[in-house]
Each structure stands twice: as C-alpha cells, then as structure tokens.
Structure 1
Amino acid sequence: MIVDCGTYRAGRRTEGPEDFSDALDAVRAAGDGFVWIGLADPTKAEFDHAADEFGLHPLAVEDAVTAHQRPKLDIYRDSVFTVLKTAGYHPHDESVSIGELMIFLGDSYVMTVRHGPESPLKDLRARLEEQPELLAHGPAAVLYAIFDMVVDQYLDVATELQTDLDELEAEIFSPGRVRGAAERIYGFKRQVVNFRKAAFPLMEPALRLTRAGTASGEVNVPFVPAELRPYFRDVADHLAKVNEVVESLDRLLSDILSANLAQVSVQQNDDMRKISAWAALAAVPTMIAGIYGMNFEHMPELRQAWGYPAALSLMAGVCFVLHRLFKRAGWL
C-alpha cells in the first residue's frame, strides 16, 4: 500500500496533489522540487500502477515485486534502482531479522518500496524534513539518508553480536561441559552469515556512489549530484567498519567451534581412559573368580583352609596396584 506521498521544494515539504501522478506532473511542470512516494509490501496491481506512472523499467519492477534480491545498484535509461537489506537485532532470542528496501531514483522523484518489518521509513522522513539543507539536494538526498540509516542499523547489530559472542565464548570455555555448545555456536554462526549476506554486497553500490567517472569508462550514477559524493563516502567508510567486524566475528566463531570440538574430543579421550581403567580393575577379580569357578577337581590350594582368603587377597592386591598405576598415569 502507499504509506506516504510528499512534495518537496527547496528542501521543504509543501502542499501538493494527493495523487502521486498529479504531484509528479506538478513538480516537473514547475521545474523544481521532487516527489517522494513510499510503498510498503505492495501488491502486484498496486505496484504496476505506480510503475506505469513513473515509467519504471520492467526488470526493476519484477525485482521490486518479487523481493528477496541481493543488495545492488542498477542503472537504467530513466532511473536508478537500488536494493538494500535492512537488519534488526532481537535481544529476547538473540536473533537478527532481515528486511528489504528498494529505491527508485529518477527525474524529480524517489520511490521507496519496503518489504518486512525491519525497514520503517516514517521516522527517517520526519528527520529529513527537519534538514531542508540536505533535502535541497533533491531525490538523491533521500537515497543517502536511507543508506546512512541502513548502515547505522548494521553498526548496532554488529555491536550486539560482538557482545553476544563475548558472552558465548566465556561460557563455552568455562570449567565444566556446556550442553549443546556446538549447536549454539552453529546457530550463532548462521545469524552472522545471514547478516554478512546483507552487509557485504552493499559495499559495491556504496563505492559506486562515491566515485566520479574515470578514464576507464566508469559512468557517473545519474540523478546523484557531485556534492553528495562526500556523504556517500562517509557511509562507505562506516560500512567498511561493519564488514571488518562481521569478518572477525565469522573467523572467531570458526575458531571457537574448532576449539570446542577439540575440547570435546579431549574430554571423550579422558572418559575412555577412565572407562578402560575401571574395566581393567573389574576384569582382574572377574578373571580369578572365573578360574576358580570352573569346577575342576584338581585346583591349586582348592582344599587348603587359607585358599579362599588368599584368592580374595590376590584380587585386592592386584586391583590396588593397578589403581595406583592408573592414578599415576592420570587415567583416574
């Protein structure tokens, strides 16, 4: 559905037609300002109507309706299409949820399409409307503000994940065995991997928005004025910091998982040594008792009065010696 449709001139929101098509015609006829239309989880029919009015490329329209796209920046003849993944952290279950934001940038308009709960733009629009000097740069100012908001979300999520990982690491390597440690580490790693899929691919679009055309033939991103490039450069720096944190989290989780598996293997070896030692201690009296229980008539000391105590003493003596040996070897 259409969440909001605003007309902006000289960086300030002004009264304009409620219908976005009429609003776009008005700003183009006046030769100044732009229209910002926001859609949330639109149906195909709703989006097709908006796409026809704005003349959006059919490939970009297909991506916007289908959702579940990789972060990217595509340049078409009359518009720029950008996909960003939003992220939110939920402390109650220590999970990361991923949403999706799509931005169409064109002549005198910017259209935002959001999917999922992690990408509300109402507060962002309100903050931008308090910065007319930024909005005066046109639709690209909205693109920058959304990039900045998304990367700020990434920084917050990365900080929370780092805190959770520190707690998990301390718990895993605390004395005593932690039940289900490998499963917890693997679950945490999945959260980091999902977050990484959102943050890492966004670096390429962010860098494209910071560069001018070069001798190699790189084309400037249309509808993005040169004076906004330093703003995108700042966003790219913050995103690089996020990616460094995510990379270190991923490596550390792999190291923790390997260390935990090694710890489990060592513990299992210790357990097997203890089991083997106790089995050897139990085998000695079992063997002696088994020999004397074979009911042969001619057995050593079978008719001696001290034969029974001697057999028990032999069992106890051998078990005592074995116990001392195993204890000294660290098996018990």
Structure 2
Amino acid sequence: MAQPALLPDHLDAPHEPGLVASVAYAGGARVCDIPIDQARDWAKRPGHFVWIGLHEPNPALLARVQRQFDLHAMAIEDAEQAHQRPKLEQYGAAVFVVARTAQLADGHVAFGETHLFIGRGYVISVRHGASASYTTVRQRLEACPTVLAHGEHYVLYGILDFIVDNYMLVAEAIHERVDAIEDSVLATNVRREDIEEVYSLRRDLLRLRNAAAPLVDVCRRLEHAEVLAIEPSMQPLFRDVTDHVRRVEEEIDTLREVLAFTFEASIMWSQAEQNTTMRRLAAWAAILAVPTAIAGIYGMNFEQMPELKWEYGYFIVLGTIALLCGGLFTLFRRYDWL
C-alpha cells in the first residue's frame, strides 16, 4: 500500500466553533496542531496518532470528522444528540464509548456526556453539557511521552480515569454537605429546608451512581480486550479504573445510607420532642382540671348547698385545691412529665 504523502511538520489548526484541539502525536511526543481535513493523512503515518477534542460541535463539524475516519452514521447520530446511556459499542475496527460526566454547579450535581471514538491512529473526544475540559488530561499525558507512546489506547484510559476521578471529587463534596446536614438535623428540629436538602442529595447520589456504574462493564470489556486489541501491559490500567468506579459506588452507597439514617433519626427525634410536649400539656391540663372541677361544683346555683354557709369554707376549698394541685405536680415531676 502506498504511503500517504508527507505533510508539513508544523500546521496551525484553524479556530472553529466546537473544536478544542486537533493534534498529531508521534512516539508519545506532540508533533503539531493539524486541520481537521488533514487528520486522516496524519493518522495513517506509521507511529502517529491523532487526538481531536470537540465541545458541543455542530453537525457540519461532526460530518467533517466522520468523513475523515469513516465513522459509523449511528455513532455520529448518538454523539450529536447527546442523550445516551453509558455504553461501549463496536463498529468494525472502531469503538464508540459513551460516558456520563459530573460536576458540581450551584450546589447541585450537573451531568454531561462524553463520546469517544477510538480506532487505529485516532481518538476523538466529544463533550456535551457539564464536563471538565480534557485539556488537563492532554497536558498531563504530553508531559510523559513514554506512556503517551502507547497511543490512542492510553488516551482512552486517561480520559476514562479523569471522568471517574471527577466522580470521586463530586462524591467528596457531597460528603461534606452530608456531614453538615447531619449535624444540623440532629441538633435542631426537622425543618422543611432540611427535608428538601436530604431529598436533593439522595437524588443527586442516585443519579451519580447511575452514571458511574455502567463504566464497570465498559472497562471490563476493555480490560479483557473483547473489542480492542489492547496490549497486555495496558490492560491492568482499565482494571484500575474499574476499581475506582467501585470505590465511587461504595462511597455513594455509604452516603445514601447516612442520609437515610439521618432523616429517620431526625424524624424519631422530632416525634420524641412532640411526645414530651404532649406529656407536659397533659400534665398541666390534669392539674388545671382540679380547680376547674371544684369551681364548677360551687358555681352551681342551688340554694340547698350546706357548704355555702360554712364560715371557713372558702379557705378550706382553696387549701384543698392547692393540696391536690401540689400533689399532682409532685407526681408528674417524679415521672418526668414536667
């Protein structure tokens, strides 16, 4: 097969909306920025690969990328719509990976998507929605040409590892909020704001778990080279990503249990406070019932009531009321009702 024509070693990729970077690499070293329309020729060079980064690209830009690498139309349609569940699909010699991304925004977890096209000599990353830029990943990999020399498969690992690390960062941030709300709920009576906060956190944690869990299967298939001919030395890297995902799942499950326990404990604490208040009200009602009953009896308009003619009847009635009320008060205090 004829080798592609050699291209200039230094080209500046034109700035286009949706295009973050289009770079050619050789032997783990960055060669130059390249235009999209020359990406295929660079990817066919021996020992080279191309990494194109896109952020919410328009259909025209995706179509240009598709023509360069003969990407499957269904995968391109998925990458354009950006409402896919995490998955790994194989189209001939190319692999299409969908991963959900997560970031904290205004106190809540915002989710996005990353679509990855991996084939011989190229990696294409397409970001949608809430997602940290992969410029950090690119800079970190470029700083280690030895590992980047593994090519497009190592880039795939780097991006997936970066996504999972962001899951952990989100989970740690939620952990701090869970600790704060746990202290607040247990220290005070349950408020509507506390209930809404607990519900919101549990919902965010469930959505984060649904985003992270499918990557276990994706990494397992990559680890065992079911879809890509990954060299054996790189397979443990995807196993490491799987371990990170499982740690994220454990952290999420722990936080959800803590929130459930916190909510149940706050409800029990509130009920205990209500029971204490009801006991106190009942005790005072019983005490006040004594003078009410006696006053009601002596308030009847009967003429034939012998007690009405007693000289010291008034003082005897007041003393009886005081004695009975004092006895009830002492009794309720003994039983910790007052």
TM-score computed with the length of structure 1 as normaliser: 0.87
| Aligned counterpart, 2:37 | 21
Aligned pair partner of 1:66 in 58, 81, 87? 81
Q: Displacement of 1:203 after TM fit?
A: 1.4
Deviations 1:41-60 (A, max 9, x none): 22334334433443322332
CA distance in 2, matches of 1:296, 1:57: 103
Aligned pair partner of 2:92 in 52, 58, 77? 77
Change (3 A) 1:42 1:291: farther
Residues 1-332 of structure 1 correspond to what in structure 2 (within 5 A)?
1-15=18-32, 17-18=34-35, 20-28=36-44, 30-89=45-104, 94-174=107-187, 176-177=188-189, 179-180=191-192, 181-212=194-225, 220-222=226-228, 224-332=230-338
Report SS of the residue matched to 1:221: coil
Change (3 A) 1:291 1:99: same
CA contact 1:151–1:238 (8 Å) conserved in 2: yes
Report SS of the residue matched to 2:308: coil
CA distance in 2, matches of 1:117, 1:248: 25
Report SS of the residue matched to 2:117: strand
CA contact 1:63–1:69 (8 Å) conserved in 2: yes
Q: Displacement of 1:40 after TM fit?
A: 0.7
Letter in 2 for 1:79: A
Q: Aligned residue pairs: how many?
A: 320
What stretches of structure 1 of length at least 5 have no aligned partner? 213-219
CA distance in 2, matches of 1:56, 1:289: 95
Letter in 1 for 2:304: H
CA contact 1:2–1:39 (8 Å) conserved in 2: yes
Tell me which moved more, 165-174 or 319-328: 165-174
CA contact 1:154–1:242 (8 Å) conserved in 2: yes
Q: Displacement of 1:113 after TM fit?
A: 0.8
CA distance in 2, matches of 1:187, 1:312: 59
Q: Displacement of 1:178 after TM fit?
A: 5.4
CA distance in 1, matches of 2:263, 2:33: 58
CA distance in 1, matches of 2:198, 2:33: 54
CA contact 2:42–2:48 (8 Å) conserved in 1: no
TM-score computed with the length of structure 2 as normaliser: 0.85
Letter in 1 for 2:196: E
Change (3 A) 1:284 1:67: farther
Report SS of the residue matched to 2:227: coil
- Find runs of 4+ consecutive structure 1 residues off by over 4 angstroms: none
CA contact 1:85–1:101 (8 Å) conserved in 2: yes
CA distance in 2, matches of 1:43, 1:303: 103
Tell me which moved more, 290-299 or 163-172: 163-172
Q: Percent of aligned pairs with the same residue?
A: 41
CA distance in 2, matches of 1:16, 1:268: 69
Q: Displacement of 1:186 after TM fit?
A: 2.6
Tell me which moved more, 145-154 or 283-292: 283-292
CA distance in 2, matches of 1:159, 1:16: 37
Report SS of the residue matched to 2:323: helix
CA contact 1:301–1:307 (8 Å) conserved in 2: yes
Letter in 2 for 1:6: V
Higher relative contact order (CA 8 A, sep 6+): 1
Cα RMSD after superposing both structures: 2.3
